[in-house]
Structure 1
Amino acid sequence: MALSTILIVIGILCVIASFFLKDTSKKLEQDVEDLSIQFYQEMNGIKRRLKAVEEELLLDSSFKVKPAKNSADFRKTSQAKPVNQILVQQVIELNKQGCTVEEICKMSTLTKEQVLHILQQGGRR
């Protein structure tokens, strides 16, 4: 009987002590909430920067070069309005991936002559 009484007293003391001890789960919940807010803010910042870069790329490549009628006109046109370096790199990468010149023309704003010229130069500017 004495053993059961001692165990009951110890149990009651443990329950009472638990009311006075700090709850670590609340701190953990707060840390997780702070981390999720920080993650959300960083993701929004990254999205804003990505959108700005995309808009900048669209502005850089938004001009269209008029199609040349012959190779002499093409040289004049390409010297007057140089093709954006990013667009040149994309043409070279698409060619490395096995895309035909016609497919590259459809995917870009460039004419067939411009694509061929870029591929002949190998992207050197």
Structure 2
Amino acid sequence: MDLSLILMGVGIVLIIISFFLQDRTKHIEKEVEELSIGIYQETNGIKRRLKIVEEELLLEPNFKVQSPKPAPKKTPMETFQQVASQMKNTHPSASQGQQASGNTKPIHSILVSQVIELDKQGLSIEEISKLSTLTPDQVRSILSNGGI
């Protein structure tokens, strides 16, 4: 019986000591939970931003990105101008009925909104024309009609 009493005493002492020791797993679990919540929030934010960009660019849901071809580095404005010219060519049905005098091609709604925003920023018609790939007459037409 002496051995059983000793073992029972040691067990009770260990149980009492375990109450006073801090549980490290709770701290680690809390950190993992905070990390997973942060990742979840970041993922949702990225999804929302991607959805907004897709809507702005009028991309279809089944849009597939082609692998990029090696090309010389371009400035962001050159890239925008290239995309804008491609959109004018590929999405004529999505463009508004804006027409410049002597030009029968409609102006895409993204370009119209860009011209209006650049005008709000105080840029001159010539500067807006250079940035938006439109002629000064087209820019004047958009601004005089208010984008309609």
Q: Do both share a fold (TM > 0.5)?
A: yes
Higher helix share: 1
The alignment's TM-score, normalised by the length of structure 2, stands at 0.51
Structure 1 portions without partners, runs of 5+: 1-11, 65-72
The alignment's TM-score, normalised by the length of structure 1, stands at 0.58
Structure number with higher relative contact order (C-alpha < 8 Å, ≥ 6 residues apart) = 1
Aligned counterpart, 1:38? 40
Aligned counterpart, 1:75? 101
Q: CA RMSD in A?
A: 3.6
Tell me whether 1:114 sits opposite 2:132 in the alignment. Answer: no
Query: How many residue pairs align between the two structures?
Result: 103
- Structure-to-structure mapping, 1:9-88, within 5 angstroms: 15-18=17-20, 23-46=25-48, 48-50=50-52, 52-53=54-55, 55-56=57-58, 58=83, 62-63=87-88, 74-77=100-103, 80-88=104-112
Structure 2 portions without partners, runs of 5+: 1-13, 60-82, 90-98
| Separation in structure 2 between the aligned mates of residue 15 and residue 50 of structure 1, nearest angstrom | 57
Give the fraction of aligned pairs with identical amino acids, expressed as a percent: 30
Structure 1 position 105, deviation (Å): 0.7
**SS across alignment from 1:81:** coil
